[in-house]
Amino acid sequence: NWWMQGNMEPTASLSILALLLLGLSQAVPLMETQHVDITRNILTINNGSRELLVEGDIVLPRTRNALVCPSNNCFWKKSSNGLVLVPFTVSNDFSTSDRSVIAGAMATFHSKTCIRFVSRTFEADYLSIQSRDGCYSAVGRQGGVQVVSLSRNGCVYHGIAQHELNHALGFYHEHTRSDRDRYVRINWANISPTMQYNFNKENTNNLNTPYDYSSVMHYGKTAFSINGQDTITPIPDPSVPIGQRVDLSAIDIKRINILYNC
């Protein structure tokens, strides 16, 4: 059975590795029409979550750390056949339709990269996909049971599932990468002081890939806005669309393949 069912509780503490968002050189605009405002969905649903979240949907341990990944231990391992196997289970809270959406989100990883999400058998480290109180994930391989939450109350969309699964593979948000000031302006006056940490730049390994306005990991223009005004403005052209789209972008796919040496 492709789906392993059952509700799982996390047993490993969740820690955050050093950011792996990627990019240099020219920026790439969004080319597809966005059908779902994923940024709004994620931030709205996660408002009030009991989890300690940063950047809206990233799980942090109760004592916050940003760990540099030692010896690639926070990445999923490549098997002898060249595929990266990521074991997972899916809660029986999800309907058949929900499972179809999740499977469809995984299918792009399978067809475009060497990542393979496989039903867990006995593996100690695995993703437990659950319907908790929001859309969120830790970043990278944490060890033990690792919860990816896709609340049935608004998170079970193709793009949201891909966004959270990409966090679990080791990627943070595009707007926090080290060279972002060349491509976007952060409008601090439109962000609550208590939320400004969500826009901190990280010391990222950009893997010589372009800043990607169309990335499934890019938040929208009004993320964390206190007044409805833009918090993220593309530069030099403010009309360039940003925010979530309905699938992994070509550069998202390229980055996964570089990071995991596909």
pLDDT digits (tens, 9 = 90+) for 41-65: 565 555 554 554 455 555 554 333 2
Average pLDDT, the chain: 79
Q: Could you tell me which residues come within 8 angstroms of residue 232 by beta carbon, excluding any fewer than 6 positions away?
A: 175, 184, 185, 186, 187, 219, 220, 221, 223, 242
In which region does residue 6 sit, left (phi positive, over 0), alpha (psi from -120 to 50) or beta (all else)? left
Query: Is residue 163 a known part of a binding site?
Result: yes
Phi, psi for 202 (deg, rounded to 5): -115, 155
Query: Is residue 173 a known part of a binding site?
Result: yes
In order of 18, 125, 190, 248, the CA distances from 186 in angstroms are 22, 37, 9, 24
The domain limits of the chain are 16-259
Cα distance between residue 20 and residue 27, in whole Å: 17
Residue 96 has pLDDT above 80, yes or no: yes
Q: Tell me: the pLDDT tens digits for 161-211?
A: 999 999 999 888 899 888 999 999 999 999 989 888 889 887 777 888 999
- DSSP 8-state code for residue 191: B
Active site residues: 164
Q: Look at residue 203 in the predicted model and tell me its pLDDT.
A: 74
Residue 33 has pLDDT above 90, yes or no: no
28-32, 143-147, 188-192, 230-234: segment of lowest average pLDDT? 28-32
Mean pLDDT of 114-135: 94
CATH number, domain 16-259: 3.40.390.10
